[in-house]
Chain A
Amino acid sequence: MQQSLTAQPAAAGAAAVRKPFGAQMLTPFLFLLPALFFYLIFLVYPMLWSLYVSLFQWDGLSDNMIFVGFGNYARILFEDEIARLALWNNVLWTVGTLVIPTGIGLALALALNRRFRGSVVFRTIFYSPAVLPLVAVGLIWSWMYNPHFGGVNIALKAMGLGWLARGWLSDYDTALAATFVTNVWSHAGFPMILYLAGLQAIPREYYEAAKLDGANAWQSFRHVTLPGLAETHVIVLSLSVIQSFKVFDIIYTMTYGGPGRVTQVLGTWMYFQTFQYYNAGYGAALAWVIAIIVLVIAIPYIRRMSRN
């Protein structure tokens, strides 16, 4: 590598004369080679492999692969009720994420944008759950939801709402909402940080101009702040949706998809099908459904990132 990179030194000026033509062309790729190696072999290739597998009925172990075309995909959409429930849960999760942690994050950013004593401490507190391993987050909240000792029921009783107390994670009606609250706790800090950066990028003069024009607080928020955050919205909303369709760790540790199967999401159902029930072909199809949804939603985000 060293040799081919060290072309003749001298000759400045036009790039073309600096090096032999071949080396000139090759240099960028020599730098890219290690990254392409890892990326192609351990991300792209497995991805395509599972696309191929998704067209088969296969247990993931034997040599016995039966071609079923798009049969696995048809099964997801038309036959498997759990898959549809999982997809629906992902949709609910996504809508919830777009509204709640995003809203909290925006509100916190607006509140913390003005520097005052303690604002950094607040920012640290609200962001801190986001750095924890999600397995720990799930276990911490399983304890919070513990029917006998957990903080949630104790708090409800203390507020005179004891009749609401229940086994939040074992109750069919509340399990998904309970895991989602955990998600809010762990994910509100990220949009907050992004919105704070977005707010700081809005020039002060805009606010001063709005003030001179007699705008009140709401009007300057509506006509200066919100438009100024347009770019940030694209990032925050895309990342929220992407993250919502990939959700796995929290569900896996808190409910394992239960009680029954009410908290299954595509990510966990794919895992169960592939590694517990040995339906590797079907699991691959489920994984590709996640991939397609996420890749389509990520297009505006990726376009934004690639702009200079």
Chain B
Amino acid sequence: MSSTALPASRRPAAAVPFIRRYGEDALLFVSLAILAVIWLSPFITILLSAVRSQADLFTRGIYSWPSEVLWRNFVEAWETGDFSIYFKNSLLLILVKVPLGILVASLAAYPLAKMRFALNMPIFLFFLIGLAVPIQVTLQPLLIMMQRIGLANSIWALVPPYVAFGLPFQIFVMRGFFRLIPGELIEAARLDGASELTIFRRIMMPLSLPALATLFIIDLLSTWNEFLIALVLINAKDSRTVPLGLLQFQGEFSTQYTLLMAGIVISILPVIAIFIFLQRYFVAGLTGGALKG
């Protein structure tokens, strides 16, 4: 809009293409801005709902500045919603699952990328098929298995299936990255008498830090967010992860809107922060994983 004023003010002979060029850009920018506002509006809505009192919400509606900004809603939601339990569980789970899963995937990716053996391609394909396996098809058996080994209702029950379902993508990414590491490096190390495990530890892993960082972030987010497996395998309050806890909180405080919104904000704050600060690695990994072979 403002840009139409700009070319009008200085209108030499070449005005027409000038207006067309910059007019198009301005139109594009304005459309993007409008869409961005629409995209942000749910965030704005929950924030505005979370920082006011319920009475304020009823009388003044969501889309007004609260008569008093109530930061203590967050404290209250954190305490009444027992979010400390859920955060602790989710963090513990991430601390164990993410490094374990990425280590297991990297170990598998090394021979698939750098060793010649008969079953290389079939095994790689076998793992890739896992990308398409819906979680639903494993749920009931997983529940029975976990009950039998006495892990049901513990957050540790989530680790093995999370690792298993994470492997296809992670093996794919790590294999792709390992293949870029020059074979001469590995050959030279072998000549020096390094074992394959040493090569993996001293050459492959250190040279793959960018890929590992990306996988770490992606896996951290998806572990934090996973819902369906946790819903089936975990019942006990003490073992709930953040998504389960949030849903429980919603069930108990479904009409305490402002408190509920504060709870939602609490549960998404960590992922939003991670995404904003680390998005460079994150986006590179997503596209690298899905597009590059």
Q: Which residues of A contact B (CB under 8 A)?
A: 1-2, 5-7, 9-10, 12, 15, 18, 25, 27-29, 31-32, 34-36, 38-39, 41-43, 45-47, 49-50, 53, 60, 108, 111-112, 116, 118, 122-129, 131-136, 139-141, 143-144, 146, 149, 151, 154, 185, 190, 193-194, 196-198, 201, 231-232, 235, 239, 242, 245-246, 248-249, 252-253, 266-267, 270-271, 274-275, 280, 283-284, 286-288, 290-291, 294-295, 297-298, 301-302, 304-308
A133 touching B283 by the CB < 8 A rule?
A: no
Known A-B contacts A132-B268, A185-B39, A295-B129; the reply to A46 vs B141 at CB < 8 A is yes
Within 8 A of A (CB), among B100-138: 103-105, 107-108, 110-112, 115-117, 120-121, 123-125, 127-138
Q: Bound complex: CA of A283 vs CA of B117, how far in Å?
A: 40
Residue of A nearest to B221 (CB): A131
Within 8 A of A (CB), among B30-45: 31-32, 35-36, 39-43, 45
Residues from chain B with a CB closer than 8 A to the CB of A34 are: 103-104, 107-108
Q: Bound complex: CA of A118 vs CA of B32, how far in Å?
A: 10
Question: Which of A275, A284, A308 is close to B232, meaning CB atoms less than 8 Å apart?
Answer: A275
A7 touching B195 by the CB < 8 A rule?
A: yes
Interchain nearest-CB distance for B168 vs A (Å): 8
Known A-B contacts A25-B117, A43-B138, A193-B286; the reply to A133 vs B268 at CB < 8 A is yes
A133 touching B271 by the CB < 8 A rule?
A: yes
Residues from chain A with a CB closer than 8 A to the CB of B108 are: 31-32, 34-36
Residue of A nearest to B247 (CB): A135
Question: Which of B42, B123, B165, B228 is close to A151, meaning CB atoms less than 8 Å apart?
Answer: B42
Interchain nearest-CB distance for B270 vs A (Å): 10
Known A-B contacts A111-B32, A140-B264, A295-B133; the reply to A53 vs B141 at CB < 8 A is yes
Question: Which of B161, B227, B272, B291 is close to A232, meaning CB atoms less than 8 Å apart?
Answer: B291
Say if the beta carbon of B208 comes within 8 Å of chain A: no
B115 touching A28 by the CB < 8 A rule?
A: yes
User: Which secondary structure characterizes the binding site on chain A?
Assistant: helix
Residues from chain A with a CB closer than 8 A to the CB of B200 are: 31
Known A-B contacts A50-B137, A140-B42, A246-B134; the reply to A133 vs B287 at CB < 8 A is no
Closest 9 CB pairs of A and B: A9-B193, A298-B132, A35-B108, A28-B111, A46-B141, A197-B287, A46-B138, A6-B195, A42-B164
Residues from chain B with a CB closer than 8 A to the CB of A2 are: 195, 197
B196 touching A154 by the CB < 8 A rule?
A: no
Residues from chain A with a CB closer than 8 A to the CB of B105 are: 35
B107 touching A31 by the CB < 8 A rule?
A: yes
Interchain nearest-CB distance for B199 vs A (Å): 10
Q: Which residues of B contact A (CB under 8 A)?
A: 25, 28-29, 31-32, 35-36, 39-43, 45-46, 49, 57, 61-63, 103-105, 107-108, 110-112, 115-117, 120-121, 123-125, 127-142, 144-145, 160-161, 163-165, 167, 171-172, 179, 187, 190-198, 200, 221, 224-225, 227-228, 231-232, 242-244, 246-247, 250, 257, 260-261, 264, 267-268, 271-272, 274-276, 279, 282-283, 286-287, 290-291, 293
Residues from chain B with a CB closer than 8 A to the CB of A307 are: 293
B136 touching A149 by the CB < 8 A rule?
A: no
A306 touching B125 by the CB < 8 A rule?
A: yes
Residues from chain B with a CB closer than 8 A to the CB of A28 are: 111-112, 115, 117, 120
Known A-B contacts A42-B164, A194-B287; the reply to A140 vs B46 at CB < 8 A is yes
Q: Bound complex: CA of A307 vs CA of B261, how far in Å?
A: 46
Q: Bound complex: CA of A270 vs CA of B244, how far in Å?
A: 19
Residues from chain A with a CB closer than 8 A to the CB of B45 are: 140, 143-144, 151
A47 touching B290 by the CB < 8 A rule?
A: no
Interchain nearest-CB distance for A200 vs B (Å): 9
Residues from chain B with a CB closer than 8 A to the CB of A60 are: 140, 144
A133 touching B291 by the CB < 8 A rule?
A: no
Known A-B contacts A136-B268, A294-B132; the reply to A284 vs B140 at CB < 8 A is yes
Interchain nearest-CB distance for A136 vs B (Å): 5
Q: Bound complex: CA of A159 vs CA of B129, how far in Å?
A: 48
Q: Bound complex: CA of A253 vs CA of B244, how far in Å?
A: 11
Q: Bound complex: CA of A29 vs CA of B122, how far in Å?
A: 13
Q: Bound complex: CA of A251 vs CA of B244, how far in Å?
A: 15
Interchain nearest-CB distance for B260 vs A (Å): 7
Interchain nearest-CB distance for A148 vs B (Å): 9
